[in-house]
């Protein structure tokens, strides 16, 4: 596996309003289903911590006007993602995830390295995670994504921020089609963020659990990403550059 993604994610500039609409999942052939089951068993054998939980898959993106993006999605479980790697029976199954850009009061961004127990061990990224679908019949909207982003920030970094204080900041699409919805939290001193993370790790350890991030760091721009060492999420350089260019006063994205 290469150390870095083959291509960086691309920011979908100008998204001021994000709409989400559910659609039916595509039907798999018997051969695709068999390949998926086989590959999932292999993946779980290699990493027993993997969980076949519910997830949201992107079915398409469409601009409704110059500021409004429609994301169509369907329900699946994590095992569908392993089918993307099959050379014969591969399907396009772009994930939908959220992340939180947590700035410090001196202009840096908090980043974390995924622990060995996660699906992407050793990868540097912003706190965040893939989206889970709501209950059948319930709507998935930006407020749901905002709440999930706040939860991920608390669970991964120990940083408690009310969901209403998270601003929609950027939307990215990776070279595999994965869609990232990125929020920004209010600035906080790096010392306080470090202390909150340290307390989280201690609490997790006391309960016999391992934190999803095995360490955190702070970066000032995309130039600092390579210095982290190891792999990093394809969207990280793009968002680090955006942060460096606009700082904590960026007002391009509103609550929509």
Buried-state track 19-39, b at ≥16 Cβ within 10 A, e below 16: ebebeeeeeeeeebeebbeeb
For tokens 């949201």, the residue is: 56
Is residue 218 within 8 A of residue 108, CB to CB? The reply is: yes
DSSP at 138: -
Provide the pLDDT for residue 111: 98
CA distances from 74 to 19, 20, 88, 138 (A): 14, 10, 23, 13
Q: CA 5, CA 222: separation in Å to the nearest integer?
A: 15
The distance of Cα 124 from the centroid of its chain, to the nearest Å, equals: 11
Q: CA 37, CA 54: separation in Å to the nearest integer?
A: 16
**DSSP per residue, 25-84:** PPPPPHHHHHHHHHHHHHHHHH-TT----EEEEEEEEEESSSSEEEEEEEEEETHHHHGG
Residue 124, classed as helix, strand or coil, is strand
Give the class (CATH, top level) of 10-243: alpha beta
Give the residues of the chain that fall short of pLDDT 50.
1-5, 251-256
Provide the pLDDT for residue 119: 81
pTM score: 0.90
- Supply 12's token pair: 């979908």
- Supply 248's token pair: 């904590």
- Supply 31's token pair: 């051969």
Beta bridge partners of 61: 71
- Supply 182's token pair: 């990125």
Q: CA 94, CA 173: separation in Å to the nearest integer?
A: 9
CA distances from 169 to 12, 66, 146, 181 (A): 11, 16, 11, 8
């Amino acid at each position: 596996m290469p150390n870095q993604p083959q291509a960086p994610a691309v920011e979908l500039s100008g998204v001021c309003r994000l709409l989400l609409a559910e659609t039916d999942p595509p039907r798999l052939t018997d051969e695709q289903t068999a390949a998926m089951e086989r590959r999932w068993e292999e993946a779980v054998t290699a990493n027993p911590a993997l969980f076949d939980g519910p997830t949201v898959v992107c079915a398409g993106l469409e601009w409704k006007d110059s500021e409004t993006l429609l994301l169509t999605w369907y329900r699946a479980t994590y095992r569908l993602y392993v089918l993307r790697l099959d050379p014969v029976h591969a399907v396009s199954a772009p994930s939908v995830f959220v992340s939180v850009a947590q700035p410090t009061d001196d202009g840096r961004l908090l980043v974390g390295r995924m622990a060995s127990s996660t699906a992407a061990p050793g990868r540097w990224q912003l706190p965040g995670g893939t989206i889970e679908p709501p209950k059948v019949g319930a709507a998935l909207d930006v407020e749901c994504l905002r709440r999930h982003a706040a939860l991920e920030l608390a669970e991964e970094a120990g940083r408690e921020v009310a969901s209403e204080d998270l601003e929609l900041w950027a939307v990215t699409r990776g070279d595999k089609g994965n869609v990232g919805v990125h929020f920004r939290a209010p600035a906080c001193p790096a010392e306080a963020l470090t202390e909150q993370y340290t307390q989280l790790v201690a609490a997790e350890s006391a309960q016999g659990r391992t934190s999803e991030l095995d360490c955190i760091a702070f970066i000032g721009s995309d130039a600092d990403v390579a210095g982290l060492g190891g792999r990093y999420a394809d969207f990280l350089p793009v968002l680090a550059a955006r942060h460096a260019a606009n700082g904590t006063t960026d007002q391009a994205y509103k609550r929509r």
